């Protein structure tokens, strides 16, 4: 039984059982391994992806519950998204394992709040654990990306995706 999942702008047929969490479909079946497993219970944020622009924990999201939601993973940001550029400029990653999830959470934050203050940043990012403790640079990189004119902070004329 195939389910269609819209990932990074492409509708894809997947064959995993319907109760399979999106995380494992992305990783095992679609080969999109940028999204990480960290806890399996929506506590660490390593598996964060966007569903219609909202951050979700893909480890807790069965594919059967996705409906028509459009999923964006780290691979969908293209590699030179302003957040990714800021991440590289500030040498944010250490071990790097949590960073896909961090960036996706930050991406959702900036889409809703293009110029977040400290409280808004930590409020949006507290669900993403980094055991290397790159938190300070994560905050700085979000601020730096927010100061860059970005395609996500879309001009009013651009239709929303």
Partner 1 sequence: MNKPFKDIAVSASRRDVLVVGATVAGGSLLVGCSLPGALSAGSKVEVGAFGPFLKFAPDETVTVISKHIEFGQGNHAGLAAIAAEELDADWSKVKVEQAAANAKLYGNVNMGGTQGTGGSSAIANSWTQLRTAGAAARAMFVSAAAAKWGVPASEITVSNGVIAHPSGKQAGFGELVSDAAKVAPPEAPTLKDPKTFTLIGSDRVRRKDAQAKSDGAARYTQDVQLPDMLIAMVAHAPKFGAKVKSFDATDARKVAGVVAIHQIPTGVAVVANSTWAARQGRDALKVTWDESKAETRGSNQLLQEFKDLASGKAAAPDDKKKGWKGFDSKGDAAKASAGTAAVEVTYDFPYLAHATMEPMNCVAMVGKGPTKLVFGSQTPTLDQINTAGIVFALPGSIEIETLFAGGSFGRRANFQSDYVTECVHIAKKVGKGRPVKLVWTREDDMRAGYYRPMVHHAVRVTTDAEGYPATWRHRVVTQSIMKGAPPGSPGGGGIDATAIEGALGSPYLKATPIVDAQLITPDVGVPVLWWRSVGATHTAYVMEHTIDQLARKAGKDPVEYRRALYEKAGAGRRLAVLNLAAEKAGWTTPVAKGWTRGVAVHESFGSVVAQVVEVKLENGTPKVGRVVTAIDCGTAISPDQIAAQMEGGSCYGLSAALFGKVTLTDGVVDQQNFDTYRVLRNSEAPNVETYILPSSAPPSGVGEPGTPVIGPAVANALLAITGQPTLSQPFVEA
Interaction of residue 117 with partner 1, rule CB under 8 A: no
Interface with partner 1 in residues 140-159 (CB under 8 A):
none
Q: Rounded CA gap, 23 and 34, in Å?
A: 10
Q: Which of 64-72, 108-116, 127-135, 153-161 is the region at the interface with partner 1 (rule: CB under 8 A)? A: 127-135
Residue number with CB closer to partner 1 (97 or 160): 97
Interaction of residue 113 with partner 1, rule CB under 8 A: no
Q: Which of 50-58, 68-76, 108-116, 146-154 is the region at the interface with partner 1 (rule: CB under 8 A)? A: 68-76
Least Cβ distance, residue 114 to partner 1 (angstroms) = 19
Q: Rounded CA gap, 56 and 127, in Å?
A: 11
Residue 87: which of 156, 139, 12, 160 has the closest Cα?
Answer: 139
Interaction of residue 93 with partner 1, rule CB under 8 A: yes
Q: Rounded CA gap, 102 and 104, in Å?
A: 6
HSE-up of residue 95 (Cα within 13 Å, Cβ side): 9
Q: Say if residue 11 is exposed, middle or buried (CB neighbours under 10 Å; 0-12, 13-18, 19+).
A: exposed
Residues that bind partner 1 (CB under 8 A): 16-17, 20-21, 24, 27-29, 31-41, 43-44, 46, 73-75, 77-79, 84, 87-88, 91-100, 103, 121-123, 125-139
């Amino acid at each position: 039984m195939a389910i269609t999942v819209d990932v990074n702008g492409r509708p894809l047929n997947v064959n995993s059982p319907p109760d399979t969490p999106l995380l494992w479909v992305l990783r095992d079946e679609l080969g999109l391994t940028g999204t990480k497993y960290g806890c399996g219970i929506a506590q660490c944020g390593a598996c964060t992806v966007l569903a219609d622009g909202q951050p979700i924990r893909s480890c807790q999201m069965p594919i059967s519950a996705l409906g028509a939601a459009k999923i964006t993973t780290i691979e969908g940001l293209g590699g030179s998204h302003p957040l990714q550029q800021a991440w590289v400029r500030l040498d944010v990653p250490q071990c790097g394992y949590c960073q896909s999830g961090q960036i996706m959470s930050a991406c959702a934050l900036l889409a809703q709040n293009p110029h977040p203050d400290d409280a808004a940043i930590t409020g949006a990012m507290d669900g993403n654990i980094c055991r290397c403790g790159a938190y300070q640079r994560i905050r700085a990189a979000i601020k730096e990306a927010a100061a860059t004119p970005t395609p996500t902070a879309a001009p009013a004329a651009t239709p929303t995706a």
